[in-house]
Amino acid sequence: MWFYLAVLLGLYFLRRWYRERQTVENLREKYVFITGCDSGFGNKLARQLDALGLRVLAACFTQEGAEELERLSSDRLKTTILDVSSKESVVAATEWVKGIVRSKGLWGLVNNAGIGSPIAPTEWLTKDDFANVINVNMLGLVDVTLHMLPLVRAARGRVVNVASMAGRLAFFGGGYCPSKFAVEAFSDSLRRELLPFGVQVSIIEPGAFANPIAKKAEESLKTTWNRVPSDIKETYGQKYFEYYCKMLEGLTKVASKDLYLVTDCMEHALTSRYPRSRYAAGWDAKLFYIPLSYMPTLVIDCVLAGSAPKPAQAM
């Protein structure tokens, strides 16, 4: 019995391996729009797809980022300035894309733009702290998607949304984890809604990577602590603040610098004839975070918070 089961599993994975290596035809004629291309995953993906010959439309937050990306890329790659949290900016970028792709439509939409800070215990933050992150990571993603969907449908193309392992496990306080949980839910419903139109939606779930979000986390925590009211500081204590700093510092130290582990997943989602609905990017995502997310709550709490000191005034 076990022999036949092993044979069936082997055939399943062999078929999957074969299907996933079938690529889409005429890639050099296809347009892909990517948000958040100043640095990190977006910047690397833009250059990676440009090297493959795709027609990349890269949206950067700053003019400096756009000029640097153009300098490192071919003449095929075009840039525009986009603030995903601004309705006017999203509308302008949509019109820019329409003027370029015309009747061909948009083969790929990659919602990569995102911010992480401030990251801190919830009671140290304000409503605006949460809103600023959610406006970019979730509502900005939704706004860009709603404006670009007619172009993607016209090409029967792909939507690739960047979530995170923090969309499965909430590691810390702040708007980052809630926004990534929301991206997961939005992408799941969108995938089912767009299947009849021949549009496929993929979610990228990176583990810990050395991107700009990770680099700013510790600095943002210190800024947040400095503005916390004195009574809240007394409640938590200096020791708790130092623990949180060390936790973020530790995450930064173990973060992978191999961004291609993420951008290769994005590339596959855009170029494979049979893309996956979810991509776990990084060995920590596959071997630690995903298995942990299926564990009982007691186990998850012990792993993620078991070493944390008690706040100064905790019972």
Which of the residues 4, 18, 31, 176 is marked catalytic? 176
Distant-in-sequence contacts of 193-198, Cβ < 8 A, 24+ apart: 194/149, 194/153, 194/159, 197/153, 197/156, 198/156
Residue 147: CB atoms within 10 Å? 18
Q: Does residue 12 have an active-site annotation?
A: no
Spatial separation of the C-alpha atoms in residues 151 and 109, rounded to whole Å: 9
First and final C-alpha spacing in the chain: 56
Residue type for position 106: L
Spatial separation of the C-alpha atoms in residues 83 and 175, rounded to whole Å: 18
Give φ, ψ of 135 to 5 degrees: -60, -30
Q: Is the distance from CB of 131 to CB of 124 less than 8 angstroms?
A: no
Catalytic residues: 176
